[in-house]
Structure 1
Amino acid sequence: MKVAFFSTKSYDRRFFEAINATYQHDITFFEVPLNADTAMLATGYPAVCMFVNDVADTDTLNSLAANETQLLALRSAGFNTVNLQRAAELDIKVVRVPAYSPYAVAEHAVALILALNRKIYRAYNRVRDDNFALEGLLGFDLHGCTVGVIGTGRVGMVFAQIMQGFGCSVIGYDAYPNEQLTQYVSLPELFEKSDIISLHCPLLPETYHLIDQSAIAQMKPGVMLINTSRGALIDTDAVITGIKTGKIGYLGIDVYEQEENLFFQDLSDTIIQDDTFQLLQSFLNVLITAHQAFFTRNALEAIATTTLSNISDFEQGKPLKNEVVYHPSPALL
C-alpha cells in the first residue's frame, strides 16, 4: 500500500525501512508536519502516517478525504490532535500504537526524578568547570517517599513498580483501577499526600489542565511534579506561579503545552519566541527534555512494527485491533 509519512527524521526512516522489508509497503517520507497546508502532499496515497504533534483537524481531514486517503495511521499512542468525529464522518479509519515500550517512558520519568533530586544536570556542568563544591546540590532519599501516579495504564504501572523498588509508598488515581496496584485514592487525597506526582494519563477534554491552580493549592509544599504524558495536562502558567511561590519544588517535563512549535527540530541558531518556555528554562529546579521519553531502540522497533501491521490489516480487510473509534463522551482517563 502507498503510505505518506509526515514529520519524519533520519531515525524514522532507519527503523521503518528495516521493518518494512517484511511488510513491503510503498513508503514516501516527508519531513514536513501534517496539517491543512501540507495535506495535499498525500494526494494519491490511500494511507497517511502522522506523528504526535501533527494536526488532523477538520481542514486537514477534508483535504485528505478529497484526495482519497482512507486510513490515518498514528505512530504514537496519543490521538488528541485528530478530529475523530470528522474522520468518522469522512469514513477515514484511524489506527494508533497503543503500546510500544512502557518501560521507555516509565524509566525516563524515573530519570527525571533522579536528575532533579540529586541535581545531576547542575553537578555535571560544575565538574566540567572544575567546580567541585557541593553547596546547592542537596537531595533527599526516595526511600519512604509517597509517590502519586495519575493514570495506571501500562506506563503508569511500570513506573509504579519501579518506584516501589526504591522503597516508596505508591498511591494511584485512575477511573479504571488496576488490580496490581492496591492503594487507590481520590485526586484531592493524592495531591495532599504525595511527595512526588507523576502524570501517565491521556489528554482528553476531561484531563485538559488537570494540574491547575486549584490542584496545585492542594499539594504539599515543595512537591515534585513529573509529566511524560501530554503537555496540556498541565496549566503552564499555574505551574510557573507554583514554582515562584515554592509550592512546586521540582518540575520535570518531557512534554510541553506548545511543543509543536519547538520540539523535534534544531532551533539552536534562532531566538525562541515562546516567552513562557524561556521562563521555565530559567528556573534552576526545572528540568525539560524534548519529548524523548519514548526514544529507545526497543520502542522505535515496536512502533514501526505495530504501525506497519496496522496498515497491512487495513489493506487486507482484517479487523483493526488498534482502531481509534469516535465516542461523543470519552471516559475519563
Structure 2
Amino acid sequence: MSAGRAKRRVRVAVARVRGLLMTLVAMAVVIGAGACAGGGEQPRIVVTTNILGDITRQIVGAEAEVTVLMKPNADPHSFGVSAVQAAELERADLVVFNGLGLEENVLRHVAAARESGVATFEVGRSVDPLTFGATGDGGAGEPDPHFWTDPDRVRTATGLIADQVIEHVDGVDGTAIRANADRYDRSLADLATWMTASFDRIPEDRRALVTNHHVFGYLADRFGFRVIGAVVPGGTTLASPSSADLRSLTLAMEEAGVRTVFADSSQPTRLAEVLDGELGGGVRVIELYSESLTAEGGGADSYLRMMRANTTAMTDGLTG
C-alpha cells in the first residue's frame, strides 16, 4: 500500500469518528432539552412535621417536591433527623416548620438551613398563637405550639404557606398554588362547621378536657371547652409529672366531676391510667390522634381525617 493511500484511509477514519462524535453530542442536546421541557428537577420544599406536611402537600400539589421529615406516629417533641435529612434541609428552596418549640430536636437544623440562605417559615408564630396560661393549662406564659387543633388557624396557615411558596420557590405556578389553597380552605371551612355541629351535642357542663399533656388549648378556645388539666405538665411529652402534679390533677377532676382522660395515640397511656387508681376507679382513657398522623389506612392519615376522628371520639366520650 502506498503512503498516499494510507494517509487517505486515516483521514476517512478520522472523519467518520468526528461524525459519530457530532451525532452523539447532538443526541445528548436533544435528550437534555427534552428533560428540561419535561420539567427537569423539581423545586424542593422540606416540612418538619407530618401534619404540616399533609397541609403543605394539599397546597403545593404537583408544583414542587415536598419532603416530610417526621414519620407517621412519631412524637414531634422527640423525633430527630438523620444526617441525610439535615442535608436536605440545607438544599431546600423552602423549609416549613411548626416552631414555637414543638420540634425540639430539629429546630437547630432549621436554624442552620436559614443561616445557609434557605428560606424558612415558622407557621405557629404567624397564626396568632395562644399561651398555655390563656386556657388554664400548665406552663403559663409559654407559647402553645399546637395550633392545628383549631381548623380556623389552619385556614390562616394555608393562605400563608401558599404565599411563602409563591414568593420563595422558583418555577411554581402561582395560579395553581392559589387554586389548591382555595380548594383546601373550603374543605377546612366544612370541617369547622361539622366540628361545631358535633360538639353542640355535648352538654355545657360536660365540656371539660383532661389530656395526657396540654395539646388541645386551641380547640378548647375555639369550641368552648374547659381545660381541667393534663397528666404531663406543660406542653411537651418530654416532661414528667410529680406526685404533687398528679394529686393536683385528681383534685381538679373530682371537683369538675370528670372521669374521662384523652391520651395521644402515639404515647403510652400508663400515666393516664394512673389516675384510675388515684380516683378509685371509673376513669376512662380514650385515645386521640393529637400530634401525629398515622400511616396510610391507620385512621388519621390526613389532617382532615385526624380532626374528624378526634371530634367523633371526643363527642362520644363526653356524651356517653
| TMscore range, shorter length | 0.3 to 0.5
TM-score (norm: length of structure 1): 0.33
Larger Rg computed on CA atoms? 2
**Which structure exhibits the higher relative contact order, with contacts defined as CA atoms closer than 8 Å and separated by 6 or more residues?**
1
TM-score (norm: length of structure 2): 0.34
